Structure 1
Amino acid sequence: MSSLAKVAEARSSPVLTVSQLNRTVREMLEGGLPVLWVAGEISNLTIAASGHCYFSLKDATAQVRCVMFRQRAALLPFRPKEGLQVEVRAVTTLYEARGDFQLGVETIRLAGLGALYEAFERLKSKLSAEGLFDAARKRQMPAMPRTIGIVTSPAAAALRDVLTTMRRRNPAVQIVIYPTQVQGDAAPAQIVAALSTANRRAEVDLLIVCRGGGSIEDLWAFNDEAVARAIAGSLIPVISGVGHETDFTIADFVADVRAPTPTAAAELASPSRADLRFQLDGLAMRLRREWSRQWMLRSQRLDFAARRLLHPGERIARQRRMMEDLARRLQMASSRQLERRRAALTLVSGRYRHVRPDAVNLRRHLQGLASRLRTAANAGLQRRLGALEVLSSQLQALNPDAVLSRGYARVETARGELIKQAATLHRGQSIRLHFADGSAAAAVTSAPGPQGELDI
């Protein structure tokens, strides 16, 4: 009554207006009582056009008026109806305009579900702390499963929806059903046994655990800890398709993939044959384009290589022309060498005529030398022509050291300079003679004579 006393004290008269009284009572109710959970049966339910809900909450001996405004009513997972046993979370208040005591309802849950919600949250927190909900442990779904296992009741409507969807999307996928109850006290143990059987047989690539929608009691088997651990420990990837889109169970959190409905689980598990055909057509088109591009590229490279490639006949003709040119050059070199030797022979013959007056013998001797020279020159020419044919394949026809193998020697100074005339030498000079099989050092012991002869 302290609030009333304050009001009376604030005014000089102890008499209050109705508005003042109702306001004071409302403040006392709202400030003196905490937010409460109140259980009862819904009656006199009215849902206004504005979306606000007005109803009475009653038990066997009493009732209280309740109001739930549109914003909070829209968040309810179910639609309130007459006779429904519920538990409301509300603030005690007073409607000042009529002086009606009422509850301002914040949320409503079905009666008896409070303990279930608390158990659900406890198990959820426990398993989450153990890491069973972590995305890192979730396994990738097989892109092309050949066999899919379904853990559900054979009589469930959800099974028919799943089979219809999978038959429509990809009838080639094989189905293995692991029958189990999905509701009731015996359901958790049977679900665990079905998951164990599927893992032991290892005959499917993917498992779907599913059932249709229902109340939280109907779906409670999928909030069982043993079921959750069996799904988390499955060696086969698991899709959870339990209830409707707004329903969440512990199985949804531990499964590798959560589907909002059993039908959605079937769509996630089975690849669409139409989609696969579309993808295959796209890949085939890309393959044809790539093959065409590669074919054009290879054709261009082949044409480019063909332009650079010489016909074997043309290559042989080029080599034949090169060998003929080499033969002409060799013949011309041999002719020039023969002319030089003839000139040298004539010079020597003239010198001999001056030194030896026996012209007849000298002429006879010269004729013999000339004959021998021609014979030797012809023989040398024939040898060179023969060697040219051999060297045409070995590309060594012009090896200058080959001359040394026929008994000639190359004379060089000690510094490696070639000596062409005897007149350039002097007594005591060091020289080096190069033969076909090696070289030797020598020294000039006499000055060159009138005919260019010298001793070494």
Structure 2
Amino acid sequence: MANSSSPEAPIPVGKVSALIGGWVDRLGAVWVEGQITQLSRRPGAGVVFLTLRDPDRDVSLTVTCFRQVFEQVAEDVREGSRILVHAKPEWYVARGTLSLRATEIRLVGLGELLARLEHLKRALAAEGLFEAGRKKRLPFLPHCIGLVTGRDSAAERDVLENARRRWPAVRFEVRNVPVQGVSAVARVTAAVEELDGHPEVDVIIVARGGGSVEDLLPFSDEGLVRAVAAARTPVVSAIGHEPDQPLLDFVADLRASTPTDAAKRVVPDVGEELARVHQLRDRARRHVVHRVEREEAGLAGVRSRPALASPYRLVDGPAEEVSQLLGRARRVLGHRLDAAGSDLGHTLARVVALSPLATLERGYAVLQRADGRVVTDPAALADGERLHARVAEGGFEVTVTQE
């Protein structure tokens, strides 16, 4: 085709459409699964028109079938139902549109849905999206709560009324969205992402009343589960009743059994908190009083001991002992000083008696030669040699004369 066309020789639209139709005819019949978003059964018309949407992607196709084909499942099929169709693609050349001509329609069974959900649950769990370690703690007192729920639903009333009854000052950012049907997943996911980006929202509650497994399927959608897992704001799942457990329950930071339970788990009760404050205050007061009384008793016991009751008693005994030791030391020291003085007097007397000066005082003299040596032998002296004579009162020079 590309080789046979050019700006000078373009292919007409009708021929292009016919070529596309030829390619489509070669596809053959296929089994297709999807969710019915529109269903048109005109009275008396022999053809039924359906719009089939991919639950995981924003893609849809038109499906047509003869009335007798549709009548086989008419009692069980409605908008929102998930079905399997055996159909052959058809290209309408005149309008340039693609549709599927169904020859058989089957309702996707509950068992098959549950098996798919279990497979998706295991896959997400293997990624760690359900682990307790990644779950965020809820704030003790949220100032603003994001609420994703159906418009004018019982779930919305339960959450708002119970939360405001428990803490009247709490504020809400409510996002009313479809909670079942073909647009539920996209709208709920968008609402969660919007509230997650809201600067004042402290926690998000996704609430819905009970329903069948098919009704709760949007809350097991993989896209919604991953959006909640990626949210920075704590998310509370309050879907259905206690037995209902969509996959959102496993990835949420907190699972509430009902919307009423969600309000009680997220918002503290002002009366209960005041009572708890009074209890804690009374307990603290009793603890402080008991501690003071115990310390006073201990202090009284310490004060009654002799060390504090008569503190001078501990000082008087050692003071008397010190006084006695001081007197004893003085006596011993005086005795030793007296003995030393007596010994010194005797020694002084002996020194005086033996002193050369005392000998000199008796009229003796000491003769010394010029080199300071004492003269002991007259024969060693030379005639005319000068000597120094030392007497008791001084000294004088003498000259040796030989006789």
Structure 1 residue matching 2:231: 3-state secondary structure? coil
1:323-402 matches, within 5 Å, as 324-325=323-324, 327-341=326-340, 344=343
Q: CA deviation at 1:293?
A: 3.6
Q: Distance in 1 between matches of 2:308 and 2:108?
A: 90
Q: Which residue of 2 aligns with 1:126?
A: 120
Q: Which residue of 2 aligns with 1:368?
A: none
Q: Distance in 1 between matches of 2:133 and 2:340?
A: 101
Q: Which residue of 2 aligns with 1:248?
A: 245
1:140-289 matches, within 5 Å, as 140-142=136-138, 144-147=140-143, 148-289=145-286
Contact 2:166 2:267 in 1 (8 A): yes
- 1:322 to 1:197, Cα distance in 2 relative to 1, 3 A: farther
Counterpart residue type for residue 234 of structure 1: A
- 1:189 to 1:150, Cα distance in 2 relative to 1, 3 A: same
- 1:310 to 1:341, Cα distance in 2 relative to 1, 3 A: farther
Q: Distance in 2 between matches of 1:263 and 1:160?
A: 9
Q: Distance in 1 between matches of 2:248 and 2:353?
A: 133
Q: Distance in 1 between matches of 2:239 and 2:292?
A: 54
Structure 2 residue matching 1:150: 3-state secondary structure? strand
RMSD: 4.3
Q: CA deviation at 1:301?
A: 4.5
TM-score (norm. length: structure 2): 0.50
Q: Distance in 1 between matches of 2:243 and 2:337?
A: 116
Q: Distance in 2 between matches of 1:304 and 1:113?
A: 88
Counterpart residue type for residue 184 of structure 2: A
Q: Distance in 1 between matches of 2:216 and 2:114?
A: 12
1:58-97 matches, within 5 Å, as none
Structure 2 residue matching 1:239: 3-state secondary structure? strand
- 1:345 to 1:217, Cα distance in 2 relative to 1, 3 A: closer
Contact 1:127 1:133 in 2 (8 A): no
Structure 2 residue matching 1:245: 3-state secondary structure? coil
Q: Distance in 2 between matches of 1:235 and 1:161?
A: 25
Q: Distance in 2 between matches of 1:120 and 1:353?
A: 134
- 1:258 to 1:351, Cα distance in 2 relative to 1, 3 A: closer
- 1:113 to 1:208, Cα distance in 2 relative to 1, 3 A: farther
Larger CA deviation: 160-169 vs 283-292: 283-292
Contact 2:135 2:252 in 1 (8 A): no
Structure 1 residue matching 2:178: 3-state secondary structure? coil
Deviations 1:29-75, CA, capped at 9 Å, x for gaps: xxxxxxxxxxxxxxxxxxxxxxxxxxxxxxx9xxxxxxxxxxxxxxx
- 1:341 to 1:138, Cα distance in 2 relative to 1, 3 A: closer
- 1:338 to 1:264, Cα distance in 2 relative to 1, 3 A: closer
- 1:251 to 1:335, Cα distance in 2 relative to 1, 3 A: closer
Aligned positions, number? 251
Q: Distance in 2 between matches of 1:217 and 1:354?
A: 141
Q: Distance in 2 between matches of 1:146 and 1:120?
A: 36
Counterpart residue type for residue 121 of structure 2: L
Contact 1:222 1:228 in 2 (8 A): yes
Q: Distance in 2 between matches of 1:173 and 1:187?
A: 27
Counterpart residue type for residue 123 of structure 2: A
Unaligned runs of 5+ in 2: 1-67, 69-73, 78-105, 355-403
- 1:349 to 1:190, Cα distance in 2 relative to 1, 3 A: closer
Q: RCO (CA 8 Å, sep 6+): is it higher in 1 or 2?
A: 2
Contact 1:141 1:206 in 2 (8 A): no
Q: CA deviation at 1:150?
A: 1.2
Contact 1:124 1:250 in 2 (8 A): no
TM-score (norm. length: structure 1): 0.45
Contact 1:199 1:236 in 2 (8 A): yes
Contact 2:139 2:203 in 1 (8 A): no
Unaligned runs of 5+ in 1: 1-59, 61-83, 88-111, 356-456
The structure with the largest helix share of the pair is 1
